[in-house]
Structure 1
Amino acid sequence: MPEESREYELFINGEFVPSDAEERIDVEYPYDGSVWASVPAGTPSDVDRAVASARGAFKSEEWGGLTPSERADALHRIADVLDDYADELAELETRQNGKLIREMSSQMSGLGGWFRYYAGQCQTREGRTIPVENKNGQFHTYVREEPRGVVGAVTPWNSPLLLTTFKLAPALAAGCTFVHKPSSYTPVSALRFAELLHEEAGLPAGVYNVVTGSGSDAGDPLVTHDDVDKVAFTGSTSVGRQISAKAGEALVPASLELGGKSPNVVFPSANLDNVINGVIKGIFAATGQTCLAGSRVFVHEAVADEFIDRFVDRARDIELGDPMDSETEMGPVAFRDQWETDVSYIQTGVEEGATLSFGGEQPDDLPGECFLQPTILTDVENDMTVAQEEIFGPVASVLTFGDETEALELANESQFGLAAGVWTEDMRQAHRFANQIEAGTVWVNEYRTLSYNAPFGGYKDSGLGRENGAEGLEEYLQTKTVWVDLSGEVDDPFKLG
């Protein structure tokens, strides 16, 4: 880790600029608590400057005047730069949130795929004509797709650049410009990202701006700004509700990717070797710090005892340590407040009748204050707090069921509906279950895998809208219908049509 802390500034209009605020925010390495960077605590006036920059770029010939093919070229340049700098960006991500370097390296090496996919979308989107019957069909009526304008995006700390890319790549493909407020825990990678996109990939000044700071001082002014045309947010359901309300009051469209309490459902025919790996992947590989974590594990009673024994044995062998070490299997919780939240949920679970079958403690042989053993709660009932509320930590709740009907009822008995896993070798059963479960993404005999061309988003309290795929691009476009009268007739001004 660096011995001295580096001071970063805001990135507005294609360059680093000082904030109007004197206060700064320290950035810590969760592994040992060391401070290695600081960023400005941005202000509403900083947001004003960033939005004005984005508006100017949106109207400019350098960006707003580009053809779809020219935008595609820009996205391809971004993808190439991200390929070149993937290792550096992965290290920045791990330094900020303590996630495994092996996971961050995988994420960063794949970012270019998102921009290349949406570059292709630039050149393949088409309008359409509508055969209206007004005036005996004497109209040429067609539909255009146009960019919404300036996007205000607020992103979380758990997978900062990946979740930013979910928004930025389609926004740029649509022709929008972008003002980004990253989490105050993980702001540095966004600043470096912006620098690379402008200085290395040649993005015109003002297309992508980054204002760091708190939610109240920078986030709220961004999502309520009267010159922002679209809001994109990933984070907790509680904050999402607030943002949705504010955007709705301003009549600004908002896409919201929110919390989850995703079920992993294990049927008797499942391959338990595969199941154990998948459940570990879903809840412990990212220290449970992912919205799609498979935190509710429903196991058929016929295989429950064997599953629990094997699950506990595998959890006991998970290697905790420095996330920069490629051999480490689980890193720290990202910050102390989240650690305390996780521990509080574990205590609540035990108080409500769950059994702590493994974990729940802070190891005494690791530095810092943020390590927590992978934790398994058994004898959990579906109405317990740990089975209903998002914990966002390495805590798995194991429940049992007797048949498919009960499993479906239990899995759907949740306010959330982001993702689900189904483990069975009976493909008829797999499809029946996938069709009826209330979730935006369902994996069969796999868990926690995503792609740029596969839509992602939630049912119920897990959000509004979709990211990735063609649906992700549609979030940043608006539709215009144009009617051209071919008849040459003079209308009756008092008659519609």
Structure 2
Amino acid sequence: MDINRPTAQNYLNGEWIGGETAAESLNPADGSVLGRYSPGSRALADEAATVARETFERTSWAASPRLRAMVLYELADRLEAAKDELIDLIVAENGKLKREAAGEMMGAISETRYYAGLARTILGRTLETAPGNVSMMNREAAGAAAVIVPWNAPVTLLIRSLGPALAAGCTTVIKPAPQTPLIHSRVMQCIHDCPSLPRGVVNSVNENGTEVGEALVASEDIDVISFTGSSRTGKRIMAGAAPTLKRLSLELGGKAPAVVFEDADLDLACRELTGGALMMAGQICVAAARFLVHKPIEREFTDRIRAAFAAVRVGPGSEPSSEMGALIDTDNQARIIRLIEQASDEGELILKGGVPDGRLSRGAFVTPTLFRIDDVSSELVQEELFGPVVSIETFEDEAEAVAKANATRYGLAASLFTRDINRATRVARAIRAGTVWLNCHSRLFAEGETGGYRQSGLGRLHGVEGLNDFLETKHICLEAGVVQA
């Protein structure tokens, strides 16, 4: 792949805008420079918000569902045409495996087409409250939306917010993650190349520290913030948006428990949970982060999952033999190493991970870690670790399993493994999480809503409900009277 790319620029009102300075984007697998990007600014963010506001108010975009559907279908076609190039770029700039990057692209293309179809099916309702009194409940675009995108799945997590925003009739400003600007720039080129897209509907401003995100959150021109990221940053966004009372769609942190009962198929459970915990090197909010194991099978499960984790081959995402890629950068690598040492102090290390030797030592690689812990109050259990570090905890009965599953402030996802359908139904209902997988882990698709309970966020993404955060309901009341005899 040719990675000698031009500088990733900002995009306003259909035009590319560079800057006097440029920051580097690095390959996390070896530390090499992939390219550069032009940081944005508060002024540029304000200008983009103004463009989005004026485009929303002065054009017919919000009233043109067929045009919006056409644009989304065009975008899906362009993403599909650029799929192989983007897969290679995701591997290089993000560090994930090639098969993970391919899954991300296929998911993004599917989701774009899904919301293209929904763009023409946004329906209101009518009712008659008394003779001659007619009410119309119209569903209308909420206005200008800011989409703040994380680095761990920079294409899919952009599309799952941008798709419903455009389908609903919103105009947009995107703030991409500074760790993956080249990926985002290539997606923006796909957007720019859509022939039916009106100027000003989609804009993008690169981050510069925190000033671009803060400007969008505070802007009077922005009506909706769609953010995916940590709960800590989500709280800052809520505070920053309070003066303007913006609508917020927040998919935040997770600490997904996987509950394994004594009657579980352990071959299936270990296979699913190895993938569910180590996909994207554990850098995904729905990763299986806590293994809650029924006491009678603790030893057998621990032996099996340790062997499965130890067998995982860590290496560059571009190599077919690799089974887990790099972390996003060396800062996060150092953070994970500190967490492993903390796990050694507070619990019992079952499998100690570390930085591999040889050529991999140049990249942000860390091998998987498993540790046993009994203290549910430990920050190792309570906090999102966002890496290949997983705890093993035990329970005596169903009630304790539910209590431990609900013991953190998060509620994004969970899974449970049992052959008993009645138990599966009871426990799934009792776990406070937006998604509960039965005898599997991490199944995400465009048609199925995802989102969190408690400090895992507000609102839902994917599915029909993904439109809700970008729509308002307007009541139009008409007292037409009745036909006079």
1:13-48 deviation digits (Å, cap 9, x = unpaired): 1221123xx332211000001111111121011112
Q: 1:240 aligns with which of 231, 234, 237?
A: 234
Q: Deviations over 1:83-128 (max 9, x none)?
A: 2211112222222221111101111023221122112212222211
- Deviation per CA, 1:325-360, whole angstroms, max 9, x where unpaired? 2321101111112112212222222222x1111132
Whether 1:403 and 2:397 are equivalent positions in the alignment is yes
Q: Mean alpha-carbon deviation: is it higher for 376-385 or for 218-227?
A: 376-385
1:233-275, CA deviations, whole angstroms, 9 ceiling, x for partnerless residues?
1111011001011112211111100001110000011111110
Q: Is the 8 A contact 1:230 1:254 kept in 2?
A: yes
CA positional deviation for 1:53: 2.4
Q: 1:73 aligns with which of 50, 70, 74?
A: 70
Question: Aligned residue for 2:52?
Answer: 54
2:38 pairs with 1:44:
no
Q: Residue 81 of structure 1: CA displacement? A: 1.6
Kept after mapping to 1: 8 A contact 2:62/2:168 = no
* Aligned pair partner of 1:214 in 194, 208, 225: 208
Letter in 2 for 1:82: L
String of CA shifts for 1:193-239, please: whole Å, max 9, x gaps: 11111214542222211111235221111111110111111111011
Bigger shift: 50-59 or 288-297?
50-59
Any idea what SS the aligned residue of 1:55 has?
helix
**Deviation readout 1:455-489 (Å, 9 max, x if unpaired):** 10000000011101111001100010001111399
Q: How many residues align?
A: 482
**CA–CA separation in structure 2 for the residues paired with 1:163 and 1:332:** 19
Partner of 2:81: 84
CA shift for structure 1 position 381:
2.9
Match of 2:453 in 1: 459
What one-letter code is carried by the residue in structure 2 that aligns with 1:77? E
> Is residue 166 of structure 2 the alignment partner of residue 172 of structure 1?
yes
Pairs within 5 Å for 1:93-242: 93-133=90-130, 137-200=131-194, 202-242=196-236
Q: Distance in 2 between matches of 1:262 and 1:236?
A: 14
- Deviation of 1:4 (Å): 4.7
| Residues 262 and 295, structure 1, Cα contact 8 Å, conserved in 2 | yes
The match for 1:477 among 467, 471, 481 is: 471
Instruction: Give yes or no for contact 1:44–1:217 (8 Å, CA) kept in 2.
Output: yes
When normalised by structure 2's length, the TM-score is 0.96
Q: Which amino acid aligns with 2:8?
A: Y
8 Å Cα contact 1:86/1:108 also seen in 2: yes
- 3-state SS of the aligned residue for 2:296? coil
Is 1:290 the equivalent of 2:284?
yes
Residue aligned with 1:36, SS: strand
417-426 or 184-193: which moved more?
Answer: 184-193
Whole-angstrom distance in 2 between the partners of 1:309 and 1:149: 54
Alpha-carbon separation, structure 1, partners of 2:391 and 2:459: 28
User: Does 2:386 match 1:358?
Assistant: no
- The one of 378, 382, 407 equivalent to 1:384 is 378
Aligned partners of 2:179, 2:104: CA distance in 1, in Å? 19
Partner of 1:16: 16
1:281-430 superposed matches below 5 A: 281-352=275-346, 354-365=347-358, 366-430=360-424
2:481 equivalent to 1:487: yes
- The whole-number CA distance in structure 2 between the counterparts of 1:201 and 1:399 is 54
What is aligned with 2:248?
254
Runs of 4+ more than 4 Å apart? 1-5
Render the CA deviation track for 1:295-334: whole Å, top value 9, x for unaligned: 0100111111111111111111111111112321101111
What's the offset of the Cα at 1:60?
4.6
**8 Å contact kept, 1:82–1:109:** no
> With structure 1 as the length reference, what TM-score do the two structures score?
0.93
Counterpart position of 2:30: 32
Farther off after superposition, 169-178 or 109-118: 109-118
Flag structure 2 segments of 5+ consecutive residues without an equivalent: none
User: Structure 1 stretch 399-408 or stretch 105-114: which is displaced more?
Assistant: 105-114
Identity over aligned pairs, percent: 37
CA contact (8 A) 1:6 1:36 kept: no
Provide the rounded CA distance (Å) in 2 between the counterparts of 1:425 and 1:307. 16
Partner Cα distance (2:199, 2:121) in 1 = 26
AA partner of residue 483 (structure 1): C
> 1: distance between equivalents of 2:471 and 2:63?
16
CA RMSD of aligned residues (A): 1.7
Give per-residue Cα distances to partners, 1:272-302, cap 9 Å, x unaligned.
1110111111111210100111101001111
For residues 209 and 224 of structure 1, the distance between their equivalents in structure 2, rounded to whole angstroms, comes to: 17
